[in-house]
Chains A and B, each alone.
Chain A
């Protein structure tokens, strides 16, 4: 990203100048942000208000396994086989970790 595009403050600049490769820095919110893509159908933080499987609080393994099986066409689906193909193994693991840590209702 270009510096001028961000409208940076001096403070911000001085903080980030010590980070030579920003894009490589670990993003602590990546799992949260990716899992937010699930919320439109499965409810905020995976807490479904009904009619869709709740994802909050499910085990990390079973969430990740389901996504990978959808992706590989090993699990019957109407739409999840198409959506799961948008995500890498690493991304699926981050999503599973985030959702499994959420409180089920």
Chain B
């Protein structure tokens, strides 16, 4: 992004860069602002959905909308590419970014946790640092939370050693340490919940990455995949070819095998068929919309996901609140991916700007998805799709004839996958 571009946003920035050291919020400090804001949007969650929405709201409104982004973590750690940290070809530092770029675009980034939303009063309440704040429109993109109670024995104590690492960060590093500490000849057990869950191909990519590490560092070890789904849910033939060609004798895939219980002390898991022992247990519990979506009454389906109007991403349950990303009740054939959450962010930003200006939002939004998976440190397979709004069905549907998967795994797409990560991190974080 050019400096000119950045400067024009800074000038248009309404409140200037908000200083988080102010304690209670006085937002009357707009006197020096060059333009009057037409309203305030607060965004909860600085991940793929929320950060993108915040950036595009500033950019596309020419700085006329005041945007606050609330994120509990001070740095963004990307789930995409985090499996490569487990495989050993990337570090946590490689997948960590800051929020400075968004601040430079006039997004006022507050690091705190939102403890509650009051949709009637249009108020956001904070856990620690900040006083209640009001909004004109609210965006909620909190990602997923985990249904630990669905797996017997996966209590708070067990969670200390049986990790999911399905949110990148300290747990990614902890899981890597468990793999490093495992003896050659050991067993890594990966349990996958029934779809829908965050990132359909993600668990299979993880199995490849752990197998890649074992192949190089402890070749007598095994990766056993226990999949609650009948078969691989994404890019099946491509993953199976990789397991056979690259990791024969290491990866053991078992479909239709749901982990029902965990015994952390014995390091075992129980399925309907048997009890298996592993040196490292990596159990992905079933997932649902993030807690704040749940406590704010945004969940509309199965006590898990948030229904939205796909023209605006506005909640089906609460007016003036837009839900993005993994928390949404996905449209048909739409994956829960970072790429898609980014697209939700743009769709919502465009619609909210129209709504706040008293205009009609686009009746023809389109989104696309690309998910690259690394089957080794260099070779990649993709799945892609394009989705358009269908007025009759009132949802986004895949465009007939579009999309598909890689012909076979290849290194060229390995370089594209790395470039995808750099570009999408920049597209969301400034």
Please report A residues at the B interface, Cβ cutoff 8 Å: 1, 5-7, 9, 11-12, 15-16, 19, 22-23, 25, 27, 29-30, 32-34, 36-37, 39-44, 47-52, 78-79, 82-83, 85-87, 91, 103, 105
Contacts and interface: CB of A to CB of B under 8 A. Distances in A.
B423 A43 contact: yes
Contacts, number: 138
Contacts of B387: 86
Contacts of A52: 416, 419-420, 423
A83 B386 contact: yes
Contacts of A86: 366, 368, 385-388, 399, 402-403
Interface of B: 1-2, 5, 55-56, 59-60, 309, 311-312, 314, 319-320, 339, 342-343, 346-347, 350, 355, 358-360, 362-368, 370, 382, 384-388, 391, 399, 401-404, 406, 410, 412-413, 415-416, 418-420, 422-424, 426-427
Contacts of B56: 36
20 contacts: A22-B360, A29-B60, A36-B56, A37-B366, A37-B367, A39-B423, A40-B343, A41-B420, A41-B424, A43-B427, A50-B423, A78-B413, A79-B406, A82-B404, A83-B370, A83-B402, A86-B366, A86-B386, A86-B388, A103-B2
B336 to A, nearest CB: 16
A34 B419 contact: no
A79 B371 CA distance: 11
Contacts of A103: 2, 5
Contacts of B350: 29, 32-33, 36
A50 B419 contact: yes
A44 B358 contact: no
B343 A51 contact: no
B403 A44 contact: no
B4 to A, nearest CB: 8
B355 A6 contact: yes
B276 to A, nearest CB: 38
A105 B5 CA distance: 10
Nearest to A53: B419
A48 B416 CA distance: 12
A43 B342 CA distance: 12
B427 A44 contact: yes
Given A50-B422, A52-B423, 5 more contacts: A9-B358, A25-B360, A43-B426, A47-B1, A48-B423
Given A5-B309, A22-B363, A85-B399, A78 B339 contact: no
B363 A40 contact: no
A22 B5 CA distance: 33
Contacts of A42: 423
A78 B404 CA distance: 10
* Secondary structure dominating the interface of B: mixed
**Residue from B2, B59, B427 whose CB has the most chain A CB atoms within 10 Å:** B427
Nearest to A39: B427
Contacts of B413: 78-79
Nearest to A104: B2
Contact of A33 (B5, B362, B412, B419): B362
A48 B426 CA distance: 9
Given A7-B319, A40-B423, A44-B1, A30 B364 contact: yes
Contacts of B60: 29, 32
Contact of A1 (B311, B404, B410): B311
A9 B91 CA distance: 51
Contacts of A32: 60, 350
A51 B417 CA distance: 9
B396 to A, nearest CB: 12
Contacts of A7: 319-320
A51 B311 CA distance: 32
B386 A87 contact: yes
Contacts of B418: 51
Contacts of A30: 362, 364
A38 to B, nearest CB: 9
A40 B360 CA distance: 26
A41 B384 CA distance: 12
Contacts of B427: 39-40, 43-44
B384 A79 contact: yes
Contacts of A40: 339, 342-343, 368, 370, 420, 423-424, 427
A40 B382 CA distance: 15
B368 A78 contact: no
Contact of A15 (B347, B358, B410): B358
